[in-house]
Amino acid sequence: MPLRRFLCDVEILGDLLLAEGTTLTLQPSSDIDPTENGQLVIEATTDSLLTFKLKGSDGVIRSGTLTLGNPTWDAWGSAPAPP
């Protein structure tokens, strides 16, 4: 379902409703597989690794990872000073 925007700054994406200023907090499991075709899950595999899994229309689960790191830029967007 495409994202729809309303004048009152409420966004609906599928069954998820977000109002402006709301905080969305997720606590993903460390080991979960999608059960239905077309379903996407996100795992918190470790403290520094997220795993995305998608069960395709052919029933095959495909996955990819995103490595998280420590920020290297300060609050003003400047690069850290060289050592």
Buried b (16+ CB within 10 A) or exposed e, 48-69: eeebebebeeeeeeeeeeeeee
Domain boundaries, the chain: 4-67
Higher pLDDT, 22 or 59: 59
> Would you say residue 33 has pLDDT above 80?
yes
What is the reported pTM? 0.59
State which amino acid sits at residue 29. S
Confidence of residue 35 (pLDDT cuts 50, 70, 90): very high
- Which residue in 63, 7, 58 sits closest to 32, CA to CA? 63
> What's the confidence (pLDDT) of residue 75?
56
* Full strand arrangement of the beta sheet holding 4-5: 4-5, 10-13, 16-19
φ, ψ at 74 (rounded to 5°)? -80, 180
> Would you say residue 53 has pLDDT above 80?
yes
> Would you say residue 80 has pLDDT above 70?
no
> Would you say residue 57 has pLDDT above 50?
yes
Higher pLDDT, 33 or 6: 33
